[in-house]
A and B are shown apart, each in its own frame.
Chain A
Amino acid sequence: MLPVEVIIDAITFSNLLALLALGLTLTYLTLKVPNFAHGDLVAAGVYVAFSLHKLCGIHPYLAIPVAFLVCGAISLASYLLVYRPLWRRGAGIVTLMIASIAVEIVLRSGLHIYADVLSSHLKTFTRGFSFAWLDWSVEMYGRTLTFVVIASTCTLMAVTISLYLFLSKTRFGTAMRAAIENPSLASSLGINVDLVYAVSWFLAGALAGVAGVFLPFRMPSDPEVGWEMLLRTFTASILGGLESLMGAILGGLLTGFAEVLGIYVLSKPPVSLSTAYRPAISCALFIMVLLVAPGGITSLDWRRVLRWRRK
């Protein structure tokens, strides 16, 4: 029915978005501010993988741990240097949003400079590159897949499971959930809420960095790719309900599929929409979610469940 390529694209893209939405929701849960700089952490991950490959000949998949650490560090730095100081001075949501836009501009410009410097140093293109040629083909169910589908799906599953275990089975994880729900009660019980926030910000950046490693396998990449992913990430997080981590994963998967499958269907007759409108699908989805269910899908579930219970 649907070409394998489209399904591969959908799965990979959704996995990426799930990782990104997870990070965005994670930081939102701490300071209640949507982090406009989140997309650029993906771009940073892209360039970590690219640099390691070009400079050290390391295959991008092996760059995952490095991207994890580097992007996590960048995100943590932004929390320690910008958001936390502002928050402690009593900055409101609007101020924090403006600050995150400032951070975004700094990060993106920094990446542009890095790309330019790298380009003149390596005498090669540092924009519009792809990792697809580095990937492996895998035979599965009589079809040929590219390995990135498997790698990204496994990564997402591993992240989901470990996050779940961490949050529900460990003491610090439980403390994190408590600090996110009720920071003042948590701190009165002796929980270091600041540490919880710092870990959240680090994790969010780290996950984005990992997503950044996978991205060039399916899309040509440049420093602007972060901003492009940001809007979809907003959609994914809102779709999942901005307050729910599991919802973020779900939202990411749904948004990714909606966009890839949607543009595939719409680009065919009778609509014959240009594929350049692909990002517009996420934007449209964003508006729809706000109009229909601003709390996301996780807020809808309860009503349905209650109706079932009453029956």
Chain B
Amino acid sequence: MIDILRLLLDFVALYSIYLILSVSLNLEYGYTGIPNFGKVLFFAGGAFVVGAVTARMLAPLAGVSLADYKLRNVVVSSQVTSFLSSNPLLSMGVLFSMLVLGALVGAILGWIASYPAIRLREDYLGMTLVVAGEIMRRIALNYDPLICGTLGVAVPSPYSFLRGITLDVFRTGFMFGVAMLVWYLAERLAHSPFGRLLRAVRDNELAAEALGKDVVKVRAIALVVGSGMAGLAGALYAFYTGVVHPNDCVPIRTFVVWVMVIIGGAGNNTGAALGSLIYLGVEKIIAIAKYYVHGIPFEINYVSYIALGIALILLLMFKPEGLVPERPPQIRSRSEAGES
């Protein structure tokens, strides 16, 4: 019974993270038309900063030595965790502040990325963002002071003041709450004048400019906000898994988010939510199936990737607008029409 609950909680936790990522990509691509092929870069930014900072920041407070950090980081982390477990207020403070920091780092990276993102053509932009992600991963792998290079770094748990199943429930609930908040904010943004502006820029850049809208700034804002969300997701993820490793910054993560957005339908947040659900659901089913299928000389994961790739191609060919197509904004009343 507990196991099924744990399974469910794990699923919801992962869903929360990918929901935030999908919503952020939807904001950038669905609403504003920026093809962000480097989503994982901003996600990793948030995750890496949590990994790099949390333990090191708290160690002196906890009276834990930071000597030989790379090799001892797991020990350091668990010691910090036990320190936190007797300090719920500090734990929550750390959680919140690190989440904010993660979002901030993501946003800053997004701001830096906005320079090329706005000026480059989509094909160059696609290549650039992928390359940038790889640079980030390379540096993380080799520059030990960041996240202990190839070992990866352990992250202290700010949830440790709880125990057992309560911890899991609280943690998942918190993550889901954050995800819902992000989703809600994205919806508000989408239905606001700014949201309309984003779509105007996406659909007809020239016309938007002719109307005096600063297209460059609008795109930059969208990318910064989206990247901030991704950084937030990364930070949440780091605290959830308790480990940050350079290979969390692999391009396939970006691809997975794209699949979610396309399955669900770009251009609306419901689609993003639905797409994430479907993808994760399928992935979970395949993972479970893995337990029951034996005697296959290769990793089942690869089959699921192949299936995903084919599914995506078929989707692009036959239903590119996804399951929840974007509805053109409807004028509901004369006053609304007069307003815009």
A interface, CB within 8 angstroms of B: 28, 32-34, 36, 82, 85-86, 89, 91, 93-95, 97-99, 101-106, 108-110, 112-113, 116-117, 119-121, 227, 231, 234-235, 238, 274, 276-277, 279-280, 283-284, 286-287, 290, 294
Contacts and interface: CB of A to CB of B under 8 A. Distances in A.
B109 to A, nearest CB: 15
Given A109-B303, A283-B131, A287-B128, A117 B297 contact: yes
Interface stretch (B180-188, B203-211, B308-316): B308-316
The 10 closest A-B pairs by CB, nearest first: A116-B298, A106-B309, A120-B297, A109-B302, A109-B305, A102-B309, A105-B309, A102-B312, A94-B35, A113-B298
Interface centre among B258, B306, B310 (most CB of A within 10 A): B306
Interface stretch (B12-20, B79-87, B118-126): B118-126
B66 interface: no
Nearest to A97: B126
Contacts of A116: 297-299, 302
Interface stretch (B136-144, B229-237, B269-277, B279-287): B136-144
Given A116-B297, A287-B128, A290-B128, A276 B123 contact: no
Nearest to A294: B124
A101 B123 CA distance: 13
Contact of A97 (B35, B120, B313): B35
11 contacts: A98-B258, A98-B262, A102-B309, A103-B313, A106-B306, A109-B305, A116-B297, A227-B251, A235-B131, A283-B132, A290-B120
Nearest to A120: B297
Given A238-B127, A276-B141, A277-B138, A95 B298 contact: no
Interface in B284-306: 297-299, 302-303, 305-306
Contact of A98 (B116, B128, B252, B312): B312
Interface residues of B: mostly helix, strand, loop or mixed?
helix
Nearest to B149: A276
Contact of B317 (A34, A89, A238, A284): A89
Contacts of A95: 316, 320
Given A34-B123, A97-B35, A283-B131, A109 B309 contact: yes
B206 to A, nearest CB: 17
A34 to B, nearest CB: 5
Contacts of B310: 102, 106
Given A97-B126, A109-B305, 5 more contacts: A99-B316, A101-B258, A102-B309, A280-B135, A287-B132
Given A86-B316, A89-B317, A290-B120, A113 B303 contact: yes
A53 B306 CA distance: 27
Contact of A105 (B123, B135, B141, B308): B308
B323 interface: no
Given A34-B123, A106-B309, A113 B138 contact: no
B11 interface: no
A32 B124 contact: no
A111 B71 CA distance: 35
A97 B131 contact: no
B140 to A, nearest CB: 11
A105 B316 CA distance: 15
Contacts of A117: 297-298
Contact of A283 (B138, B262, B320): B138
B10 interface: no
Contact of B131 (A32, A104, A112, A286): A286
B260 to A, nearest CB: 12
Contacts of B312: 98-99, 102
A200 B303 CA distance: 30
Given A102-B313, A112-B302, A116-B297, A290 B134 contact: no
B124 A290 contact: yes
B161 interface: no
A184 B81 CA distance: 66
Nearest to A32: B123
A276 B131 contact: no
A23 B4 CA distance: 51
A165 B176 CA distance: 63
